[in-house]
Structure 1
Amino acid sequence: MLRGGAGIVGLTKLSRSIAGSPHGLRYCFGGMTDAAQVPFINPDSDYPCCWFCPALRLPRTGFLVVDRPSRHWPFDAADGYRYSVDGRIPVCVSPGRSDWNLSGQLLHRAYNRMRDTLTGVFPALERAFNFSAHKGAVVLLTGFQTLAALRRMGHSRLTAWLAKRGVRLPHGVEELAIEAAKAQQTSLPGEDAAAQIIEDLANSILNLTERIARVEKQMEKMLNEHPQEPILLSMPGMGHILAAELLVAAGDFSAYATEGHFASAAGMVPVSRGSGTRTGINVRPKRYSRPLQRALFLAAQAACFHHQRDRDYYSRKRAQGMRHSAAVICVARRQIRMLWTLLREDRQYQIDPPERGTDA
């Protein structure tokens, strides 16, 4: 028997789509009136959400949530929101973005904006560090963004300043920063205004990094309490984040009759478009769970890179003329069959499957 997903309560912020709801409608909270008139999401909280989400300005009863944008929820250029056609009710059209993935996208954008602004006033310092892989360099930018500021500090004072803020190997960061200050001789106009922007972006990057780490720890703790966590983590290409995404997107595994139904829900089963004498026409499905497909596709793609058996299977499919995405979907289908077997037999994945007992 496949056990249910009762232990995953709390990992998901949005429930599964209401069965039979039109146009992918997930929530229909009713009218626009609410006694408290308090926004559903507090902008100062740790709840990751799109900046333009109506949940930031409206109570729970004041907006709808749908799976994806469509003509049924037209965009209003006057205020930048989408509304229902009939009742002019604000609509959230990207519920899949209201998770830790959005935080990662915002983090990359902040890095790019910070580096772009720094290049305009202090290109030597921008070339000296790989900021996305060096937290100490980002900490440096919270206090020093210009050529003159670094020159005023000097070696020993800058090293002490970095060490006080918990930077690992502060002497190495200090040497690279001072060398960058010596390599550039010209102070560029407008650097004071740019320095404030760089400082704000550096602080936002550090805060967002801490939030992501905190959410991932919380996610891992909740995942460890789920009964099917050992089975999922034993599979090739499956880590804590993808396992949590899969459990949230799939819900209760016992709701799927077979592994074919599960694959169909993930959009990995072609749909027949034959009619009359036109037979054998299979096309890509249009109605399926995008989050579920994403989790399975990424797990299969990681397995192709890091596990020999999946890599050989992927290579065979490519040799047959399949594109990369089609070959990865074939690997994902094989992993779905493997997952279904592991859940049915309640055991973890092993490279060499256990020997089956023979009847006497």
Structure 2
Amino acid sequence: MEVFVGIDVAKETHWVCALDHAARVLLNRAVDNEQADIDALVRELVALGDDVVIGLDITGSLARFLEAVLLAEGLRLVHVPGIAVNRAGHGFAGGERKSDPRDAHTIADLVRTRSLRPILPDDETVIALRLKVTRRREITDDQTRRISRLRQLLGAIHPGLERRLDLTGKGPLVLITRYVTPGEIRSAGHKRIVAYLRKTPHLHAAEALARAALEAAQGQRTVVPGEAVFADMIREIAAEALEARQILGRLDRDIEALLDDHLDGALIRSLPGMGAELTAELIANIGTIDRFPSADALASAAGLAPVIRQSGMSRNWRRAHGGDKALKRVFFQSAFCAVSTRDPLSKAFYDRKRKEGKHHTQAIIALARRRITVLWTMIRSRQAFDPNRKAA
């Protein structure tokens, strides 16, 4: 007998609902997020039928342990997106009400009536890539906010220096960990500033950086109230930014090593525009290509497949607003990079779409969609990108 199970995942207690093919409730109870309780649940589910499909509204994160136990028992898992659960819940009586039992029943019903993407076990390399990529994005986001704050503070007390420095670079950050205010820079002088900068390994253009700082300092004589407090905060944030750069460097080296070990790493990177960072993000998001039976399924997951809009006599296509935003960003950015670096095939496709009347973003989206088909075919056929092939 077929059994369709919905699990509303939570940190401490999951709620489980099991239905048969006629939507009759076979099981409806809470399960603690503990090994013994989940093992007992598995035994109950196996006793209910010989074909058990389990839907989870969360993958990874809070559901990581639950996934591991269920997959180890050989059970089939599928992902039911949270937005689908929310929208489906509104179709029942009292749709605005929400509870864990209600959500679990909705998930089970969606498993019974929908074709959903499977949740497959990941190998150690994919798990490591996912964690490293997530950590890198967190640090990058924090670094962006940190640099923005530095510009704001430095522009408040020494606007001339702020205009002359590219605070995303290593040299300017090293400079302002010591010399910030016009008075400090003038007192130090050119030689002392250069000597301080050269203490940092692999720092280039120390002379030019010192000259730019002195020019800015010579052009400002007014001392801004609270200047010393501002300068201390700038030095502190600049030191944090330098430390973040070191962490990002280590993460990039780790990601490169993991891609070298991954079966699809070199294969994906052979496609123009797919650098190490985008390749790692792609693998982290899709896990294995076996989750997507076709290129159309992968494009749909990324929100890059056109959506039909039909009402009465009106029938047209529009751009999808849903999909995995992280996956969409990977394909969009890789297409943009391919055009920017003037890959001949990508540039020709982009130019053709522009001549058809599409604006820049539409042409990039069309290119991203075409590249999904190429990439899916490359991985499935285990063949690197070949620009001379007709299919490319």
Both proteins in one fold, TM over 0.5: yes
Partner of 1:288: 323
Residues of 1 paired with 2:139 and 2:250: CA distance? 12
Residues of 1 paired with 2:83 and 2:219: CA distance? 50
Residues of 1 paired with 2:274 and 2:231: CA distance? 42
Where do 5+ consecutive residues of structure 2 fail to align?
15-31, 35-61, 66-79, 87-96, 101-130
Listed one character per residue, the Cα deviations across residues 259-301 of structure 1 (whole Å, up to 9, x for unaligned) are 22222222222333446x5563444445522222221111112
Partners of 2:339 and 2:347 within 8 A in 1: yes
Partner of 1:149: 184
Where do 5+ consecutive residues of structure 1 fail to align?
1-18, 36-57, 73-83, 88-94, 356-360
Residues 274 and 70 of structure 1: CA distance in aligned 2, closer, same or farther (over 3 Å): closer
Q: Report the Cα offset of residue 180 of structure 1.
A: 2.2
Residues of 1 paired with 2:186 and 2:257: CA distance? 46
Residues 288 and 34 of structure 1: CA distance in aligned 2, closer, same or farther (over 3 Å): closer
Count of residue pairs brought into register by the alignment: 286
Listed one character per residue, the Cα deviations across residues 161-204 of structure 1 (whole Å, up to 9, x for unaligned) are 22223333433322222232222222221101111111112112
Alignment pair present for 1:124 and 2:160: yes
Partner of 2:340: 305
Greater helix percent: which structure? 2
Q: Secondary structure at the match of 2:196?
A: helix
Partner of 1:327: 363
Q: Give the TM-score of the pair, scaled to structure 2.
A: 0.64
Partner of 1:226: 262
Residues 174 and 194 of structure 1: CA distance in aligned 2, closer, same or farther (over 3 Å): same
Listed one character per residue, the Cα deviations across residues 20-79 of structure 1 (whole Å, up to 9, x for unaligned) are 979xx7x522349999xxxxxxxxxxxxxxxxxxxxxx9x99xxxx9889997xxxxxxx
Residues of 1 paired with 2:82 and 2:229: CA distance? 39
11, 17, 25: which one pairs with 1:29?
11
Greater strand percent: which structure? 2
**Within 5 Å, which residues of 2 pair with 1:29-68?**
29-31=11-13
Q: Give the TM-score of the pair, scaled to structure 1.
A: 0.69
Amino acid at match of 2:177: T
Listed one character per residue, the Cα deviations across residues 196-241 of structure 1 (whole Å, up to 9, x for unaligned) are 1111121121111112222121112111111111211110111111
Farther-moved stretch of structure 1 (192-201 vs 158-167) = 158-167
Partner of 2:55: none
Amino acid at match of 1:335: R
Q: Which entry has the higher C-alpha Rg, 1 or 2?
A: 2
Greater length-normalized contact order (CA 8 Å, ≥ 6 residues apart): 1
Amino acid at match of 1:157: R
Residues 183 and 244 of structure 1: CA distance in aligned 2, closer, same or farther (over 3 Å): same
159, 163, 172: which one pairs with 2:194?
159
Query: Alignment RMSD, CA only?
Result: 3.5
Residues of 2 paired with 1:280 and 1:100: CA distance? 43
Residues of 2 paired with 1:313 and 1:21: CA distance? 44
